[in-house]
């Protein structure tokens, strides 16, 4: 091997209802990326127990994410769709990465600080070690690219740090066993087993904000259901939520600069842009100078037109759990085969007897 084979990996946690932010920020990208890439898409159920150990219906939540993947257009035969716990190699590599990563690295993770809050001593060890498992999710397939939102960039940087430290620490072992690729990191030549993973960030709405507060990210955990559009919402509910979305009294500007200091207006324009595959400039060229009483109904029509077919297919799939389970089972078998090849080589590089 003289170069890393391109591979896209990403995952979504099975926690609560998927919403518009998940769709525009992640799943829609997954669908687009599959056209020209080898892709592995994972329901990260191991991650779901880091913040909440006991779930009322974890199987249902796992199936819901899988249904959303498929209903949105991901092809589970050409690519791999599976749930993380079906491939125990994720957890095995995560333990090795726990030994590669440094405690100081984990303590600097802003997401851990945010989720643990002031009572950090009472947070689970899993929450602290979450980024090691995320690194393992990606690198157990030696993935080269990961579509991520802004809030996951730090974790991906940590994945690169873990990969680099492993590569440097075991460089001679990697070379002696005939594995790896010659790369340059900065100005330093390295014989690397794991690739330097690149983030895929972009699109007109990388962050979708709450419909009730444009300064906060749209979230499954927000107590107000009016703050988000769920993928399982029907047309009437979508219409109600958009019409009730917080705005300001001014008309829409004609240029993007005019959205500065108007978070709710910027959010709605960003949502329209993403759903219509337009730029914010193009949206404002069409609606600039108009009031929200004109813009909101147009956004309702667009959102219903885009989301209703997905909602309908999700509901159909959720009524056929045997079909979803068969897809996940097949994906799990294919994922395990790929992951086990990596783990056999990693065990050999480290020196474990097999």
Q: Give me the DSSP letters along 3-53.
A: SPPP-EEEEE---S--BHHHIIIIIHHHHHHTTTS-EEEEE-HHHHHHH-S
User: Within 117-252, where are the H helices?
Assistant: 125-139, 153-169, 171-176, 235-244
**Distance, CA of 349 to CA of 18 (rounded, Å):** 40
**Average pLDDT value for residue range 187-212:** 85
C-alpha 202: how far from chain center: 13
Catalytic pick from 217, 240, 246, 278? 217
Residues 6+ apart with CB under 8 A from 77: none
Instruction: Determine if residue 221 is labeled as part of a ligand binding site.
Output: yes
Query: And the tokens for 332?
Result: 């799990």
DSSP state of 194: S
Q: Are 180 and 191 in contact (CB under 8 A)?
A: yes
Structure confidence at residue 109 (pLDDT): 86
Does position 150 have pLDDT exceeding 80, yes or no? no
pLDDT score recorded for residue 148: 80
* Cβ density class 239-272: b for 16+ within 10 Å, e for less: bebbeebbbeeebbbeeeebbeebbbbbbbbbbb
Q: Is 248 annotated as a binding residue?
A: no
- Give a three-class secondary structure readout of 95-124: HHHHHHCCHHHHHCCHHHHHHHCCCHHHCC
Asked about 244 being catalytic, the answer comes back as no
Cα three-residue angle 299-318-207, rounded to 5 degrees: 35
Query: Could you tell me the sign of the dihedral formed by the alpha carbons of 324, 49, 11, 241, in that order?
Result: positive
**pLDDT band at residue 231 using 50, 70 and 90 as cut-offs:** very high
Please tell me whether 204 is known to bind a ligand: no
What mean pLDDT value characterizes the chain? 92
H or E segment and range at residue 182:
strand 181-185
pLDDT in the model for residue 154: 86
150 appears as a binding residue in the annotation? yes
**How buried is 178 (Cβ within 10 angstroms: 0-12 exposed, 13-18 middle, 19+ buried)?**
exposed
d(CA 201, CA 130): 21
Q: Whats the size of the chain, residue-wise?
A: 354
pLDDT on residue 221: 81
Tokens found for residue 295: 């813009």
Q: One of 115, 165, 240, 278 is an active-site residue; which one? A: 115
Residue 276 annotated as lining a ligand binding site:
no
What integer pLDDT is reported at residue 115 of this predicted model?
A: 76
From CA 233, how far away is CA 85, in angstroms rounded?
A: 29
Q: Is 321 within any annotated ligand binding site? A: no
What is the reported pTM?
0.90
115 is catalytic: yes
More confident residue, 214 or 3: 214
As a whole number, mean pLDDT of residues 317-321 equals 94
Is 239 annotated in a binding site? The answer is no
Token pair for 165: 């430290």
Q: What pLDDT is attached to residue 121?
A: 83
pLDDT attached to residue 202: 64
Query: Which residue among 220, 240, 278, 341 is the active-site one?
Result: 220
Q: Residue 38 annotated as binding? A: no
- 95: Cβ contacts below 8 Å, ≥ 6 apart: none
> Exposed (0-12), middle (13-18) or buried (19+): which is 107, by Cβ within 10 Å?
exposed
Copy the structure tokens of residue 141.
């397939």
Token code pair at residue 46: 């191991």
For helices 321-350 and 89-100, the axis angle rounded to 10 degrees is 40
Instruction: Please check if 149 is assigned to a binding site.
Output: yes
Percent of the chain with pLDDT over 70: 97
Percent of the chain with pLDDT over 90: 80
Question: Is 220 annotated among the ligand-binding residues?
Answer: yes
């Amino acid at each position: 091997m003289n170069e890393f084979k391109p591979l896209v990996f990403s995952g979504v946690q099975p926690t609560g209802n998927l919403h518009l932010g998940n769709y525009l920020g992640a799943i829609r990208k997954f669908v687009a990326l599959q056209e020209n890439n080898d892709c592995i898409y994972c329901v990260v159920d191991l991650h779901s127990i880091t913040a909440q150990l006991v779930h009322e219906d974890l199987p249902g939540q796992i199936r819901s994410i899988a249904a959303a993947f498929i209903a949105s257009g991901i092809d589970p035969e050409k690519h791999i769709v599976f749930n993380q716990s079906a491939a125990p190699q994720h957890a095995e590599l995560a333990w090795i990465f726990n030994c590669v990563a440094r405690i100081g690295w984990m303590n600097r993770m802003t997401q851990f600080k945010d989720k643990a809050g002031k009572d950090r001593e009472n947070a689970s060890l899993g929450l602290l070690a979450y980024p090691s498992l995320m690194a393992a999710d990606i690198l157990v397939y030696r993935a080269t690219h990961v579509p991520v939102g802004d809030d996951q960039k730090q974790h991906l940087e940590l994945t690169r740090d873990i990969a680099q430290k492993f590569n440097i620490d075991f460089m001679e072992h990697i070379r002696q066993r005939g594995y790896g690729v010659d790369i340059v990191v900065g100005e330093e030549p390295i014989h690397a087993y794991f690739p330097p993973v690149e983030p895929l960030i972009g699109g007109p709405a990388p962050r979708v904000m709450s419909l009730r507060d444009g300064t906060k990210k749209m979230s499954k955990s927000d107590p107000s259901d009016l703050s988000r559009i769920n993928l399982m919402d029907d047309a009437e509910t979508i219409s109600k939520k958009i019409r009730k979305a917080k705005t300001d009294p001014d008309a829409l500007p004609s240029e993007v600069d005019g959205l500065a200091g108007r978070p709710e207006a910027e959010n709605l324009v960003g949502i329209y842009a993403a759903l219509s595959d337009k730029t914010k400039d193009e949206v404002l060229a069409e609606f600039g100078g108009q009031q929200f009483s004109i813009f909101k109904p147009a956004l309702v029509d667009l959102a219903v037109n885009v989301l209703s077919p997905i909602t309908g297919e999700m509901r159909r799939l959720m009524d056929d759990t045997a079909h979803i389970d068969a897809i996940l089972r097949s994906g799990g078998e294919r994922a395990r085969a790929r992951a086990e090849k990596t783990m056999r080589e990693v065990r050999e590089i480290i020196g474990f007897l097999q």
